[in-house]
A and B are shown apart, each in its own frame.
Chain A
């Protein structure tokens, strides 16, 4: 986003805050180095000046709509809408949340922005190790877009265009639309030739493998999981208070009786052994059928490098192929299991 666009975004947020139409706004602020950013809750005019939007803005803000339901960012009686800056790939997550009544559309004020791809820190760290980036770039550089190029402005004022493939998140390389389809305020022009829903064909190579080979692959992936629940806690659709696959969250509301606590089945323990991990990750994957919009935050955040995106993209591909249904397509869609068609597949049923 060029500096004028950033100023435009900051002004739009500042005006809404000054006019008192928002109880707060979600944006990004610069993070621990030039290539990282962190969410920023803007409540005052001063906060707005810290807001940024650049290729460093990788974390998705949509999760914080669920966090707001659980840990409100403003007092209960403050009914004003909550502002949120949305990139092209974020609108699907918001549509899903609206479909599931986690948030109503009028509770949100959406600032649409034109995003041309955000960085993946794991890839940037590899460049650092190979010496293609220096720690000075990390400390004093700044990132920006120039059309579709990712440009690093170094401390001594030079500009370097970085290769998209070696810095951007995988999802950004197959981006289906720079700007969100739903917004209240659009900063910059709308991306007219949006390709609609994300392309999902990069899992062919795994599908072609034999069942044995696939289990070998997934067994090594699942055995690395340390059950830190980051993939669930960052997920833009996972909003259950009592999570079936997290034994700690069973029967915890102060209304739950001793009987509930004692008799609630414990599906899996808190161990991180392969069977329990497989149970956890498979259940998470199919709970995403018709709900997961492949924002791939789980894949970005997994500290043990599990390729969760391959699981979610498989489920999304099947749901589209089998039922012509896509999560995050529109708020008029009903839930996946609420609808049915004559030609729903049943060949696997005796």
Chain B
């Protein structure tokens, strides 16, 4: 299992809120905090902008993990944004567990603009956890499409 994981470099989609986590990631970069290069950052204006629809779409398109990071409660530039995100993903994470679709492939975090080190740690830990899961994913569209061709349709 370990050998296969070495070759397997998970791709993580990271939605970072512009005011805190994106700045935190910047700080991590400038202060040379080491963290794995597997994340592809998408800057959003608030963690509440990221609908669970986006998370499902990322997994559908073959992402190995999705990270959503926003401001700590109380720091939100729009006051209530991260409250809504917290409620929304409390429901969504429970639903993912209930249905059993790779709940470990989604991670949410609060990282403020000054927590460069924490950002590095969050990413490193998440990438390591996802790598351990291996490439087999449950929600990937291309797999079903390819199966449809070889099998000559249903």
Contacts and interface: CB of A to CB of B under 8 A. Distances in A.
A157 to B, nearest CB: 50
B95 A286 contact: yes
Given A275-B144, A350-B108, A350-B122, A314 B87 contact: no
Interface residues of A, number: 42
Nearest to A212: B100
Contacts of A338: 84
Nearest to A207: B98
Interface stretch (B8-16, B29-37, B38-46, B135-143): B135-143
Q: Which of A245, A276, A315, A349 has the most CB of B within 10 A?
A: A349
A323 B94 CA distance: 13
A261 interface: no
A286 B109 contact: no
Interface residues of B, number: 39
B84 A275 contact: no
Nearest to B98: A314
Contact of A283 (B52, B80, B84, B90): B52
Interface string A175-213: 000000000000000000000000000000011000111
B78 interface: no
A340 B87 contact: yes
A5 B148 CA distance: 57
Given A286-B91, A344-B86, A349-B86, 6 more contacts: A213-B100, A273-B141, A275-B144, A315-B95, A319-B91, A345-B86
29 contacts: A211-B97, A212-B100, A213-B100, A218-B99, A245-B53, A273-B145, A273-B148, A274-B144, A275-B141, A276-B141, A278-B99, A282-B52, A282-B95, A282-B99, A283-B53, A285-B95, A286-B91, A286-B95, A289-B88, A314-B94, A319-B91, A322-B87, A338-B84, A340-B83, A345-B86, A346-B73, A348-B93, A349-B86, A349-B109
